[in-house]
Amino acid sequence: MMYKNTFRLFFSNASNIWKTFLYLLVTGLVTALSLLIALPVIKELNNVGVFSQTGEIFTNLFSLLEKQEFGSSLLAIYNNFLDVIFDKRLIGYVIAFCVIIVIATNIFSSIYSLSMADNMYGYMSSGFHGHYTVSIFSTLKKGLLLGLTKLIIVFPVDMIIIVVLSYCVKLFTLGGLYAVFAPIIIFATFTILYSFRLTLFCGWESAICVHDCSIFRGLKLGIVAVNRRFARTLGCSFALMLTILSVNIFASLFTLGFCLVITIPSSWLLVSIFGNVMYFSSQGMRFYVEDDFVISPKRLEVTDSPRKTKFEL
């Protein structure tokens, strides 16, 4: 039901797709201006032929008979990129590049997720479509704090996922069936690992908005809500990630990337809505999924043991 209700809310709030697109566009421009210091790295990547080899990938994607060449091309880009990263002449620029990207990504994504959670909380609790700009400014301070907190708590989890995926990429070096099935293994690994990540932290922003509490109390309440229905939340997270990744890959390959203008903002919006749906459902809170339709989950005193709910009755 969480999966279904997430999409019902998504379609009843489809106007937020374009608001998300504008937000990503503005924050992307701000980040790009901050990355002027990384120009030497980009120049060096171009000198070693990384960008020219990237074009070969899109050519090989349209040929089912050239899977081995596709794997070799991807592996060449991966190896060249590592050579540039560990070049002593550029290590300072690489560090600055990574620091800017990590900080900007965490802060901007946290501001978005908290403001959208606040905006969706208003709709789900009252059926009223609030102004997204108001939500951004009303949650801006907490969004900044949330972004800095995620650098400590969530970023290590992201690094683990990146390291695991980097080992999966090395399957291309083994050749044969390993190289053929490597894209599938990478896709499955990312889907599973990110589903666990999404499950663990999906209630964080919603708890902050619902209870108007601090960042760390919101984290605690979010984890408690997830733990109340962990298996169901994990299953819905996996289904949602599988849907999002499949749609974005399809949009990349068969529309030459043009549909990514819609699918990427939609993906961000879906993940944000999913967190709200999970939290409302776990807390037994009634919520709107459409202007004239309300979902009524089982209350906590029905789903939880008396020991857990004695302070709420």
How many Å apart are CA 278 and CA 205, to the nearest integer? 11
223 in any annotated domain: yes
At 66 the pLDDT is: 43
Cα torsion angle, 25, 27, 30, 34, sign: negative
Strand partners, 140: none
291 in any annotated domain: no
At 62 the pLDDT is: 44
How many Å apart are CA 259 and CA 288, to the nearest integer? 29
How many Å apart are CA 89 and CA 98, to the nearest integer? 16
313 in any annotated domain: no
Which structure tokens are listed for 282?
A: 């776990």
At 108 the pLDDT is: 92
21 in any annotated domain: yes
Taking CB atoms within 8 Å and a gap of at least 24, the contacts of 59-63 are 61/253
At 237 the pLDDT is: 95
67 in any annotated domain: yes
191 in any annotated domain: yes
Per-residue pLDDT of the chain (313 residues; tens, 9 = 90+): 789 999 999 999 988 999 999 999 998 888 887 777 666 666 666 566 555 555 455 445 444 444 445 455 555 655 565 565 555 555 555 666 777 788 888 899 999 999 999 999 999 988 888 888 889 999 999 999 999 999 999 999 998 998 888 888 888 777 778 778 888 899 999 999 999 999 999 999 999 999 999 999 999 999 999 999 899 999 999 999 999 999 998 888 888 778 889 999 999 999 999 999 999 999 888 988 888 888 887 666 555 555 454 434 3
How many Å apart are CA 287 and CA 226, to the nearest integer? 18
Provide the residue range defining the domain that includes 37: 2-285
At 73 the pLDDT is: 53
Residue 221 neighbours by CB under 8 Å, 6+ apart: 203, 207, 211, 213
Residue 214 falls in which region: left (phi positive, over 0), alpha (psi -120 to 50) or beta: beta
The HSE-up count of residue 67 (CA atoms within 13 Å, CB side) is 13
Cα torsion angle, 172, 178, 182, 186, sign: negative
How many Å apart are CA 221 and CA 229, to the nearest integer? 13
Residue 299 neighbours by CB under 8 Å, 6+ apart: 284
Number of domains in the chain: 1
pTM, full prediction: 0.79
- Per residue in 38-72, pLDDT (tens digit) is 666 666 665 665 555 554 554 454 444 444 454 55
303 in any annotated domain: no
Q: How many CB atoms lie within 10 A of CB 180?
A: 15
141 in any annotated domain: yes
